């Protein structure tokens, strides 16, 4: 199937020895500037850290399973929740979603590579070494509890806890520096994605013919430009405070701890949308293909995405209702937060309308996408509940909040990430993932997810605060915590099945062919895995579903669009 | 596959034009940088008059000469862009060198200002909140000027070696965008620090 007019690059000399070949192969991956290889590197890196941060979560759940447990001490517990949060956001969520974008955006817009391939490689290695820097703190970090003290100030690192007096040593600096390094990596990738989507599209690929995943990544990258950079700025201020004796967050010299909270959430809230909108893109690709219908309301989907990005910039202080604001401030952030529900609701209805009357195939990617729809709806509804300031005063920093945002991050984003891996794994490796193991993975993960996070709402309403390393037996939380921990274990088993599936199918999976799902976007017109040059001839498109046009020359989409 | 692709009805639009990736990339970088500056500017404005001790912004002198130098460097780099577009490499080198000289004068002026503040007024980054916010905001801008000067000097070096030609005009213009941005940010920093904050 490979194009015969172009030579396939590769060694033509006699086979070298096995050691030399291995070295050559490794060298190829390290020096690569190919967007597909970098995409795979991002995803593999993120899956590795998904297992690490998942193990940290399970350690916390073992500690909390029974009251007064001594599985880990309070110091270790602080490190665990700090590293779990930081890892999941910066080393799992961002890299895996930008990894998908790296792999898919050039293929979907019919380009040879990203706009700046070397910047792309540079961004990946910044992210990779940022992650290593963060995890090196487990060995080299010196903090309040001596050597080997990982950061323990929480993932939002509120001042004045980060001041030199309360966080001596340099474990907090590992956190700040690694986030700055990764921030620059992310900035580079965002610039690259924007330049690729705007400047590298193949002929006929107008903005309103781009697949929705590309649209969402364009919006996300634009949002990233103005979201990650405030965090970088705040981290620089923190380092100035800690190292050269500045007073930004030093209340004794007139500085303000509240300013850190504002700066952090000016980053932190749009960050949620940076993570969730690629998931929307994934759902918008998978649901139509498995419902055998074109996406319902394409322009509305684009408008809703841009709308979410704008609204998300004005909602950050809903994390701060308990910090204390004026009633006008409270009212503004209540209303702006509720407004997010409108474009998000449009999206949910469009996905439902796409499925409505469709000929749905429940292959594993579609199972995960369907799970995403229901869980994301519930996550959105508890979000509306928490946006009401008095309700938030009652439940802020309780397990209800933890349950809410894990519903978004796990029930929404992680489900879409799994869907995406099942959907595009055949393209990247040439082999199908096992459907049997996939079903086991889905059902176990779904059941484990609901056991854990549905129950977590209840302990939250019963008053259990977040970030506590243990609790007393007479609080009435014992049974519920045991149930939550059991659900966590079920999810752990499901993820191990998934990891096994990835490895086993890579070696023994069924051959995928070019287009195993009978899909419509350009990446499925290339061989699996695609050659380094992607397309033998530059593709030309006339509609949003170029492969549909090819497969149905008598009934092409371009007759109906516009 | 190519056979299949060729069977796509050929898109008739011969005027398939896309924006230059260099410009798009640089504009994206500028948007990101603007957000960093916004956070520092907001911090500066929020903390005006909140220092509990030490020198106040009244000790600052308005750096008019510096400002004129930096802003006119935007004009000279624009003239350099036009020179390379027309292929006048000597004019390009001259305007480019003048731009660099103006940038260096600006940095030298900042160095002089900081020396006075540190040695005579006793204002360092750790003295008080004003010192912290002043040096970090003005320093952030100065860092960008220095980065710009490094890139300008690389171009000048290659120009003098005869490696920059007319066909590089677009790259030069992309780099100039960054310099224009650094100048534009100075207008904001100048207004906030030396006019509003003083």
**Is A122's Cβ below 8 Å from some Cβ in B?**
no
- The reply to whether A47 falls in a domain is yes
- What distances in angstroms separate CA A355 from CA A352, A360, A391, A490, one per listed residue? 5, 7, 35, 30
- The reply to whether B5 falls in a domain is no
Task: Residue A204: list chain B partners with CB under 8 A.
Answer: 11, 13, 16
Q: What is the ipTM of this complex?
A: 0.93
- pTM as predicted: 0.94
- The reply to whether B167 falls in a domain is yes
The pLDDT value given to residue A298: 95
Spatial contact of A428 and A103, defined as CB atoms under 8 Å apart: yes
Characterize the bridge pairing of strands A142-143 and A146-147: antiparallel
- The reply to whether A203 falls in a domain is yes
What range defines the domain where residue B188 resides? 31-196
- The reply to whether A141 falls in a domain is yes
E strand or H helix that includes residue A147 = strand A146-147
The pLDDT value given to residue A12: 54
Chain A from 184 to 243: CB within 8 A of any B CB: 187, 190-192, 194-196, 198-201, 203-204, 221-222, 225-230, 232-234, 236-237, 240-241
Per-residue pLDDT of chain A (562 residues; tens, 9 = 90+): 444 455 555 555 566 788 999 999 999 999 999 999 999 999 999 999 999 999 999 999 999 999 999 999 999 999 999 999 999 999 999 999 999 999 999 999 999 999 999 999 999 999 999 999 999 999 988 888 888 899 999 999 999 999 999 999 999 999 999 999 999 999 999 999 999 999 999 999 999 999 999 999 999 999 999 999 999 999 999 999 999 999 999 999 999 999 999 999 999 999 999 999 999 999 999 999 999 999 999 999 999 999 999 999 999 999 999 998 999 999 999 999 999 999 999 999 999 999 999 999 999 999 999 999 999 999 999 999 999 999 999 999 999 999 999 999 999 999 999 999 999 999 999 999 999 999 999 999 999 999 999 999 999 999 999 999 999 999 999 999 999 999 999 999 999 999 999 999 999 999 999 999 999 999 999 999 999 999 999 899 989 999 999 999 988 888 887 5
Instruction: Count up the domains in chain B and report the number.
Output: 1
Provide the pLDDT confidence category of residue B5 given band limits of 50, 70 and 90: very low
The pLDDT value given to residue B8: 47
The pLDDT value given to residue A62: 96
Distance CA B137, CA B31 (A): 17
Distance CA A400, CA A382 (A): 9
Instruction: Count up the domains in chain A and report the number.
Output: 1
Q: Which of A110, A201, A222, A254 to mutate to test the interface with B (most CBs of B within 10 A)?
A: A254
Distance CA B79, CA B173 (A): 11
E strand or H helix that includes residue A484 = helix A478-508
Q: What is the CATH number of the domain that holds A148?
A: 1.20.210.10
Degrees (nearest 5) of the Cα angle A133, A137, A141? 130
Contact B6 A541 (CB under 8 A): no
Q: Is the pLDDT of residue B97 over 70?
A: yes
- The reply to whether A61 falls in a domain is yes
Beta carbons within 8 Å of A375's beta carbon, 6+ residues apart: A407, A411, A412, A415, A449
The pLDDT value given to residue A143: 87
- Surface-to-core class of residue A15, CB atoms within 10 Å of its CB (0-12 exposed, 13-18 middle, 19+ buried): exposed
What range defines the domain where residue A138 resides? 32-210
Which residue among B25, B39, B126 places its CB closest to the CB of A115? B25
Q: Is the pLDDT of residue B30 over 60?
A: yes
- The reply to whether A177 falls in a domain is yes
Distance CA B18, CA A109 (A): 13
What residue in B sits closest to A192 (Cα-Cα)?
B25
What mean pLDDT do residues B123-135 have? 95
Mean pLDDT for chain B? 92
Q: What is the CATH number of the domain that holds B105?
A: 1.20.120.80
- The reply to whether B18 falls in a domain is no
Distance CA B139, CA B127 (A): 16
- DSSP-derived letter for residue A248 is T
Contact B32 A229 (CB under 8 A): yes
Contact A195 B40 (CB under 8 A): no
* DSSP 3-state of A431: strand
- The reply to whether A552 falls in a domain is no
- What distances in angstroms separate CA A144 from CA A168, A170, A249, one per listed residue? 6, 9, 20
- The reply to whether B55 falls in a domain is yes
Structural tokens at position A346: 């449009």
Spatial contact of A95 and A45, defined as CB atoms under 8 Å apart: yes
| pLDDT tens, position by position, B144-176 | 999 999 999 999 999 999 999 999 999 999 999
């Amino acid at each position: 199937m490979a194009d015969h007019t172009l030579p396939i690059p590769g060694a033509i000399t006699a086979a070298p020895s096995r050691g030399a070949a291995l070295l050559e192969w490794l060298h190829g991956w390290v020096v690569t500037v190919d967007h597909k290889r970098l995409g795979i590197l991002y995803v593999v890196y993120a899956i590795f850290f998904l297992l690490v941060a998942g193990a940290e979560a399970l350690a916390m759940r073992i500690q909390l399973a029974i009251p007064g447990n001594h599985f880990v001490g309070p110091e270790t517990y602080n490190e665990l929740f700090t590293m779990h949060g930081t890892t999941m956001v910066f080393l799992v969520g961002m890299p895996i979603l930008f990894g998908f974008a790296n792999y898919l955006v050039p293929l979907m817009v019919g380009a040879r590579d990203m706009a700046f391939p070397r910047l792309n490689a540079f961004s990946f290695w910044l992210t990779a070494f940022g992650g290593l820097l963060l995890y090196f703190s487990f060995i080299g970090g010196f903090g309040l509890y001596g050597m080997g003290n990982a950061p323990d100030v929480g993932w939002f690192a509120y001042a004045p806890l980060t001041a030199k007096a309360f966080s001596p040593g340099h474990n907090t600096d590992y956190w700040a520096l690694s986030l700055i390094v990764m921030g620059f990596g992310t900035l580079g990738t965002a610039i690259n994605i924007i330049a690729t989507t705007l400047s590298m599209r193949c002929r006929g690929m107008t903005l309103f013919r781009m697949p929705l995943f590309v649209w969402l990544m364009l919006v996300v990258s634009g949002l990233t430009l103005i979201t990650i950079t405030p965090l970088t700025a705040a981290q620089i201020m923190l380092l100035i405070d800690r190292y050269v004796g500045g007073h930004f967050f030093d209340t004794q010299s007139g500085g303000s701890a509240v300013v850190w909270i504002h700066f952090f959430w000016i980053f932190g809230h749009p960050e949620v949308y940076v993570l969730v909108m690629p998931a929307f893109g994934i759902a918008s690709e998978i649901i139509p293909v498995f419902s055998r219908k074109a996406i319902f309301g394409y322009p509305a989907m684009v408008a809703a995405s841009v709308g979410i990005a704008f609204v998300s910039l004005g909602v950050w202080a809903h994390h701060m209702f308990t910090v204390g604001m004026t009633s006008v401030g409270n009212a503004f952030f209540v209303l702006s937060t509720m407004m997010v529900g409108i474009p998000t609701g449009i999206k949910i209805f469009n996905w439902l309308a796409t499925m409505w009357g469709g000929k749905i195939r429940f292959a594993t990617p579609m199972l995960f996408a369907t799970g995403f729809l229901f869980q994301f709806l519930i996550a959105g509804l508890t979000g509306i509940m928490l946006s009401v300031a008095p309700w938030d005063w009652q439940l802020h920093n309780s397990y209800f909040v933890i349950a809410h945002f894990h519903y978004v991050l796990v029930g929404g984003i992680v489900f879409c990430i799994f869907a995406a891996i099942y959907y595009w794994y055949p393209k990247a490796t040439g082999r199908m993932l096992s459907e049997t193991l996939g079903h086991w993975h889905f059902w176990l993960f779904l059941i484990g997810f609901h056991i854990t996070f549905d129950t977590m709402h209840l302990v939250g309403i019963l008053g259990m605060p977040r970030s506590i390393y243990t609790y007393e037996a007479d609080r009435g939380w014992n049974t519920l915590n045991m149930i939550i921990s059991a659900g966590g274990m079920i999810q752990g088993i499901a993820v191990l099945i998934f990891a096994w599936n990835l490895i086993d199918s890579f070696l023994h999976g069924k051959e995928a062919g070019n287009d195993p799902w009978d899909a419509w976007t350009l990446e499925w017109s290339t061989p699996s895995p695609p050659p380094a040059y992607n397309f033998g001839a530059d593709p030309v498109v006339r509609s949003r579903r170029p492969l549909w046009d090819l497969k149905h020359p008598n009934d092409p989409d371009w007759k109906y669009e516009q | 596959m190519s056979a299949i692709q060729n069977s796509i009805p050929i898109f008739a639009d011969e005027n398939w034009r896309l924006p230059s990736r260099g410009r798009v990339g640089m504009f994206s970088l500028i948007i990101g940088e603007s957000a960093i500056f916004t956070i520092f500017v907001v911090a500066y404005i929020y903390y005006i008059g909140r220092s509990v001790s030490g020198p106040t912004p009244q000790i600052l002198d308005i750096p008019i000469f510096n400002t004129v130098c930096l802003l006119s460097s935007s004009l000279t780099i624009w003239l350099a862009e036009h020179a390379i577009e027309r292929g006048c490499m000597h004019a390009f080198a001259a305007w480019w060198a003048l731009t660099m000289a103006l940038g260096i004068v600006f940095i030298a002026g900042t160095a002089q200002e900081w020396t006075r503040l540190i040695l005579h007024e006793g204002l360092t980054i750790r003295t008080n909140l004003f010192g912290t916010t002043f040096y970090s905001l003005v320093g952030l801008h100065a860092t960008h000027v220095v980065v710009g000067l490094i890139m300008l000097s690389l171009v000048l070096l290659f120009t003098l070696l005869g490696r920059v030609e007319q066909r590089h005009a677009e790259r030069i213009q992309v780099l100039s965008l960054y310099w224009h941005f650094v100048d534009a940010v100075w207008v904001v920093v100048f207004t906030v620090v030396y006019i509003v904050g003083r």
